[in-house]
Amino acid sequence: MLQKVVGIPRIKQNKGSLKLHKIKGFAGCGRKWKKFYSFPRFWGGVGELYLWYMQKGMKRVLGLVLAMGLSTLGAQTLPSPAVDLKPKLWGLGVNVRHFGYDVGLFKVQSARAFLNTSALWFGVMRDPREMKVINERLPGSSAFAIERVTHNLSLRYQKGKSIVLSERNSRGDVGLRLNASLQLPVDYAWPLYVWIYNPAPLTDGYTAVAYDPAVHDVGLIGGTAGYGLGFSDGQLIPGLGGLVAMQAEWGSYRNVSNTLTLGFGVDRFVKKLPLWHRPEMNRNFFPSVFVTFAVGFEYGQRQ
């Protein structure tokens, strides 16, 4: 019996047929001698959080981020003392998009009419259509994605400009910016390995193999094997993209800046990313809505 985790349908086999049953909350293995956690590995946990975010939690996460950011204002509504503004701002950010999530380093530098921006993001490519299940009939089984045949990491460099729509003149103000950037994404895809159960008497056990849905019986898959298996067999797939976003900035006027960004971006790769076993499910064009929360620190005095 296969059970889907985090609010995704559970697959139950009954007299040769498969039925879908909606479940809620976290899944367990249903055996007294085994306690199953739906976050057995770091990457799986982050993936489940991403699926929850895309399905149910977007409004809650945005509300929490705004509440945390506004709490840093500290009721500082008086204008700040006259000081030389610092032209460079370096920071770290977390980005959640429709096809994955990233962490990155960014820089903002003052120019005459615009703000020059650049960023380097590193993250994971995921597909919202991904469905994870648990094969409860196998001992010690964990979650795996049906027909997902590769792991995908992405590196993207962004270069753009921001127009200041509303400038912060005091510590209590919230500034607004409009940003447009070009980005150069590079995806690295390598085979996804799964545990295949060998039911032979006395020698039963698991073997890690590269997942091939055309060959491997889904009823014998005991979960996803090591994340790094087959990494050297991967391929680089470059692309080109761009984004447009609205940014809200607040925080300490002197040296700390919190930024919440909501925007729309597209990535187009030179060929389809081999995420899925069936070629018709793969794509090379990825439009997405994204949300970014970043914290920056100003550095360097104006000359």
Is the predicted pLDDT of residue 263 greater than 80, yes or no? Answer: yes
- Range of 30-39, 165-174, 265-274 with top mean pLDDT: 265-274
Percent of the chain with pLDDT over 70: 68
| pLDDT score, position 301 | 46
Residues with Cβ within 8 Å of residue 275, at least 6 apart in sequence: 125, 127, 148, 149, 150, 152, 189, 281, 282
Angle at 279 between CA 263 and CA 206, to 5 degrees: 100
How far, in Å, CA of 208 to CA of 129, rounded?
A: 25
Q: Tell the CATH topology of 2-299.
A: Porin (2.40.160)
pLDDT band at 36 (very low <50, low <70, confident <90, very high): very low
Percent of the chain with pLDDT over 90: 48
| pLDDT score, position 24 | 34
| pLDDT score, position 12 | 41
| pLDDT score, position 55 | 55
> What distance separates the 2 farthest-apart alpha carbons in the chain?
80
CB 151 within 8 A of CB 123: no
| pLDDT score, position 52 | 56
- Average pLDDT value over all residues in the chain: 77
pLDDT band at 298 (very low <50, low <70, confident <90, very high): low
Q: Give 47-59 pLDDT, tens digit per residue.
A: 555 555 555 555 5
The stretch 230-239 carries a mean pLDDT of 96
| pLDDT score, position 256 | 77
pTM for the whole structure = 0.69
| pLDDT score, position 278 | 93
Is the predicted pLDDT of residue 228 greater than 50, yes or no? Answer: yes
